Amino acid sequence: TRILGIEGTAWAASAAVYDCATDEVVIESDAYEPESGGIHPREAAEHMHEAIPRVVETALEHARQTHDGPPTEPPVDAVAFSQGPGLGPCLRIVGTAARALSQALEVPLVGVNHMVAHLEIGRHTADFDSPVCLNASGANAHLLAYRNGRYRVLGETMDTGVGNAIDKFTRHVGWSHPGGPKVEAAAKDGKYVDLPYVVKGMDFSFSGIMSAAKQAHDDGVPVEDICFSLQENIFGMLTEVAERALSLTGSDELVLGGGVGQNARLREMLETMCDQRGADFHAPEPRFLGDNAGMIAVLGAKMYDAGDTLALPESRVNPNYRPDQVAVTWRGESKR
């Protein structure tokens, strides 16, 4: 099976070809970089509109060149696309492109939940059976685990996503988007100052710590100390809830997903926690962590093989598509 994946929930216009026989994933991405401030939905959509044809054509050209069937055969078996969650104006462009391609190539359409794709790429690259997943991305932060045909949300942010929270602080400081890597770099020279830490049961909140961090900056606290403390508290909160999720489910596998997963301090905390309880920890390679079409193509292939394809009237995008709305069709005889 060979699948064309298209991702376009926010900033990354991305297309990929996944070949099941070789397990090779070729990704072509074009990132929207705001000139100032954060991600502006209209500008992001304009970028998506302009970049999607280019990345899709590059990915398809690769598929054509490596295709060994007759030239009359389509170079891929299906077109998978990010159906949500994400910014509506971006999703609609990708949905339209995917529908047009599926009709032009005469292959089925597969609608992929972007957050489940963040999880499944970790499960796939680690070869784990039934992991707990911490999705730490820009617009989201939650713990997922599989039970009875669905990925259940065990805990989640009560307000903003984790990356967006960090980016709001860096905008306040005057740093360009994205802020996460800049906080990581500055934190290396910092020491701890007190900031809020909010975990309630399995859920957590970032709004209080963000306001306190901005206030601390206005009060003249050194920015590297704030960055260090932000990382310690925010990643501490995520690690605490990840541990509770492992304990609750009895799973001994943890995977990390999302762009914030590129942060070495977060990975170190999760790894230490897993070591201490004898669990295995896996973070996919960086190209699979931030938004990318590789993860859409890989999950798209599993769904296609399970017969989970979309008729055109069902292919509408959903900006608020939650992971627990997805009926999991592709897991076969999983242990849990």
Residues that bind ligand ATP (CB under 6 A): 9-11, 86, 114, 137-140, 161, 163-164, 166-167, 178-181, 184, 258-260, 262-263, 290-291
Give which of 233, 230, 231, 253 is closest to 242, Cα–Cα.
253
Q: For residue 160, give both structure tokens.
A: 């903003």
Which helix H or strand E contains 25, and what residues bound it?
Answer: strand 24-31
Positive or negative torsion for Cα 162, 164, 170, 176: positive
The least distance separating ligand ATP from the CB of residue 99, rounded to whole angstroms, comes to 21
For 66, 103, 106, 200, the CA distances from 61, given in Å and listed in that order, are 9, 18, 17, 50
For 72, 142, 244, 257, the CA distances from 277, given in Å and listed in that order, are 54, 21, 11, 21
Positive or negative torsion for Cα 193, 198, 202, 207: negative
Q: Cβ distance 203 to 154 under 8 Å? A: no
How many Å apart are CA 1 and CA 17, to the nearest integer? Answer: 10
Q: For residue 147, give both structure tokens.
A: 């039970």
SS3 string, 159-214, reads CCCHHHHHHHHHHHHCCCCCCHHHHHHHHCCCCCCCCCCCEECCEECCHHHHHHHH
